[in-house]
Structure 1
Amino acid sequence: MSSLPPSPDITQIPAEPGVKPRLEPDGDAAASPPAPGRRAWVVLVILCFVYVLNFLDRQLLSILAKPIQDTLGISDSQLGLIGGLYFAFFYCFIAIPVGWLADKTNRVGILALACAIWSAATIACGAARNYGQLVVARMTVGFGEAGGVPPSYAIITDYFPKGRRGTALGIFNLGPPIGAALGIAFGASIAAAFSWRDAFYVLGGVGLVAAIVVAVFVREPKRGGLDAPNPELASEPSGFWVTLKMFFSHKALMLAALGSGATQFITYGLGNFTALFLMREKGMTLNEIAVWYALVVGIGMSAGIFTSGWAIDRFTRISKRYYALIPAASLALCIPFYIGFVWAPGWQLATLFLIGPSFLNYFYLSSSVALVQEEVRPDQRVMSGALLLLVMNFIGLGLGPTYVGIASDLFRASFPDNSLQTALYTLVPFYGLAIALFLALARVLAREEAKQGGAS
């Protein structure tokens, strides 16, 4: 018995790695992108877990700032430097050669090795007996974490097709809120029951196991396997300096990076001192931090990052300008909540106001990452992601906590009981700067769309 011939207006879309095949009418440009397969989701879960550990290890110092200060006798300025500039120096600049190497070699192998390095360094943080040893250990954590996020961005982009990447990267970017929440709950509970050193030992050990899981269970996807064919890749492979020049001369990418950096100046400046602020100036205990602060960060940040990923996939189908308009709007809405948090006379009201910044401060992340991954060639994605992190993390992670720590020490003479509160108030103008940069990015993207529309 012969089978019926296929319908002339139906085309089967071939299955790419990690993507289910689908049927689609010929020429239907508006059709939904193919659904990712099971392997893509498994890889996403593993990479998200590694990101949780990445951020958890990074934030543990700020969460346990009070007992660490009591043990090692370090000041707010020293705490800001070790959590900011010292860490960011290695984290930002090592990411560039690591990103270039990952674009040319096996991204999964580099991710697994990086996870092992930062986890071993986390254990060394727990063993530190003085400020100098802690500085060296934290800088080594930064060295390892430099190879964590950029390869993950590129791996996810090659497992998920265009139109699904905003959601996938939004889920991946749940790593920071989940890591922060678990770090607060776990770190504060362990420190209250045992010692702050034990928290570093346990989390470092978990990271070493995670490195093995990545090496065994994550397959290296084909670079650009889910993108439209690009003849440039065969005739003109990109090099280190080509990618570097492309990124820093690309107005949209630079505005996205600078807007993200201005936002991170606030988020890291606040985040590295929130637990200390709530304990020292608002009267919270470690056990209360472990419950209430953990819930606010875990739920608020997770909801914000997931919502932003969904919104990006939905609205950027209408216009690329929403890569910029979505974070600009979220930051404008956040300002009164942030001021309320800093002003609140007690920790109960402060944590209630903190829900707003926890939800609204992080819409920029998935937006900027997705824009960069969409704008560059497949063989430039890891290094471009690393360059994005270089700019935004050097400004935000490097300078934000450093600034707040120094400002708090400077204000201590005039405001001995609320120097941190005064320092945190001075972050408000950076909201205006970040909003202005994202609005400038929206204008650039609008002009690009107009040119493309005129050319077509």
Structure 2
Amino acid sequence: MAAVAPAAVRPGPRAWFVLAILCFVYVLNFLDRQLLSILAKPIQDDLGVTDGQLGLIGGLYFAMFYCVLAIPVGWLADRTNRVKVLSLACGLWSVATAACGMASTYPQLVLARMTVGVGEAGGVPPSYAIISDYFPSGTRGTALGLYNLGPPIGAALGVAFGASVAAAYSWRLAFIWVGVIGLVTAAVVWICVREPRKGGLDVPPAGDRGMHVDEPAPGFRETFKAFFANPVLRGMSLACGATQFITYGVLNFTVLLLMREKGMTLEEVAVWYALLVGVGVAGGMILSGRLIDRLAKRSRTAYAYIPAVGLALAIPLFAAFVWADSWQLAMVFLFLPTGLNYFYLSPAVTLVQEEVRPNQRVLSGALLLLVMNLIGLGLGPTYLGAASDFFMATHPDNSLQMAFYTLIPFYVLAVAMFLMLARTIRRQAEQEARP
């Protein structure tokens, strides 16, 4: 486990500059990923795809490459220059995003989205590790919480930008413009971000050679076994996977639900849903990061209790959002769950970065994402799209609403898994305290 850096060590202006650049890269990462769901209605009208096909392309097909390739990319980044890996990945997914706007058939769109997944596999894990080497322990929860503003900002910008461009021009132009912006950003990362010393802000306990930062990175097998042999890391990964099953399913189909079944237009989506996503999710990210930095010092069970409480509070409000018969009322009920659903991410990322050795951080972050995204990203949208197709025969006017109702039991499952994780963390702490 990483030792806490001295209280005197504080991140300087350079660290905050790098954090801002990496956060913007994450914004583009998530914006590229969410454009498909934001523009689902015009894409369906143009290419004639079903809800189930949209679920597959936004879920399983994308996740197969995004999740699996994150492992070798993480292994490579732990041994090479993480900044260059991130820059090259950003360039690749940006080219693939532009290619999505040129697809004229469903198979072509699938191929382009799979390539986006290949590129995005090299985005988040290297960034987690770079940030952890710019910010000392005790500030990482806040730093990673700010970095994790990438998804809400990306989703909000994606909604506002994508819907506006699609309404004024076409959905294809939105993909192409975002791809061009990503290529410019990749060059900025290559030129402006310096590779930090791995573990340079971690102070090893006396006599602990395991924390020496100049030692070569452990092998893939050693890191893999250590990660999944740790019951805390294993439990956190699975609990987050159950949560992302909900969040990715909701993200991929909320715009379609609001437009097709609750009467919202693209222009209204571009304003009101963009604001809701940006403010709601960003608030959840910032608040959970701050809570972790404060409460985890008292008890490490906070890493599990904070997500559990957030999800439990979200359940009745989410049910009311699905029930609402107008988009205005639905937006009122959706605001708080939008933030509460993301109370898990900052605690999860911070726990993994604190729990492992500095030269294992990229691969360990990739392993966390592997489990979370194979379950959540791979299965959540795929399930929800298939459920909507299933209900189409009996509920043709509100098949998506019926599918959304079926996510409520998954909320309960995720809360239970985080409560089990809290018990595991408590037991581990008791074992470590024994003489």
Q: Give me the whole-angstrom Cα distance separating, in 2, the residues matched to 1:431 and 1:60.
A: 25
Q: How do 1:410-421 residues align onto structure 2 when only pairs under 5 Å count?
A: 410-421=390-401
For residue 23 of structure 2, what is the aligned residue in structure 1? 48
After the TM superposition, which segments of 4 or more aligned residues of structure 1 sit over 3 Å from their partners? 29-33, 233-237
Residue 231 in 1 paired to residue 198 in 2? no
C-alpha deviation, 1:249, in angstroms: 1.3
For residue 332 of structure 1, what is the aligned residue in structure 2? 312
Change (3 A) 1:54 1:201: same
Q: Give me the whole-angstrom Cα distance separating, in 2, the residues matched to 1:204 and 1:408.
A: 31
- CA contact 1:90–1:146 (8 Å) conserved in 2: yes
Q: Give me the whole-angstrom Cα distance separating, in 2, the residues matched to 1:65 and 1:415.
A: 20
Aligned CA RMSD, in angstroms, stands at: 1.3
- CA contact 2:78–2:217 (8 Å) conserved in 1: no
- CA contact 2:93–2:120 (8 Å) conserved in 1: yes
Q: 1:440 aligns with which of 402, 420, 423?
A: 420
- CA contact 2:5–2:137 (8 Å) conserved in 1: no
Residue 110 in 1 paired to residue 85 in 2? yes
For residue 294 of structure 2, what is the aligned residue in structure 1? 314
Query: Which amino acid in the other structure matches residue 416 of structure 1?
Result: P
For residue 34 of structure 1, what is the aligned residue in structure 2? 9
For residue 174 of structure 1, what is the aligned residue in structure 2? 149
Residue 164 in 1 paired to residue 139 in 2? yes
Higher relative contact order (CA 8 A, sep 6+): 2
C-alpha deviation, 1:453, in angstroms: 2.5
Q: How do 1:42-441 residues align onto structure 2 when only pairs under 5 Å count?
A: 42-229=17-204, 230-232=208-210, 233=212, 237-441=217-421
C-alpha deviation, 1:206, in angstroms: 0.3
Query: Which amino acid in the other structure matches residue 360 of structure 2?
Result: Q
- CA contact 1:33–1:164 (8 Å) conserved in 2: no
For residue 433 of structure 2, what is the aligned residue in structure 1? 453
Query: Which amino acid in the other structure matches residue 159 of structure 1?
Result: Y
Gaps of at least 5 residues in structure 1 are: 1-28
Deviations 1:355-402, CA, capped at 9 Å, x for gaps: 011110001001000001100111110000000000000100000000
Corresponding residue SS for 1:127: coil
Query: Which amino acid in the other structure matches residue 103 of structure 2?
Result: A
Corresponding residue SS for 2:395: coil
Deviations 1:230-254, CA, capped at 9 Å, x for gaps: 5134678510110111111111001
Deviations 1:190-234, CA, capped at 9 Å, x for gaps: 000000001001100000000000000100000010112351346
Q: Give me the whole-angstrom Cα distance separating, in 1, the residues matched to 2:231 and 2:425.
A: 9
Q: Give me the whole-angstrom Cα distance separating, in 2, the residues matched to 1:38 and 1:400.
A: 39
Deviations 1:38-87, CA, capped at 9 Å, x for gaps: 10000000000000000000000000000000000000000000000000
Gaps of at least 5 residues in structure 2 are: none
Q: Give me the whole-angstrom Cα distance separating, in 1, the residues matched to 2:215 and 2:157.
A: 47
Q: Give me the whole-angstrom Cα distance separating, in 2, the residues matched to 1:247 and 1:418.
A: 43
The sequence identity of aligned pairs, in percent, is 66
Tell me the TM-score normalized by structure 1: 0.92
- CA contact 1:115–1:207 (8 Å) conserved in 2: yes
Q: Give me the whole-angstrom Cα distance separating, in 1, the residues matched to 2:93 and 2:121.
A: 9
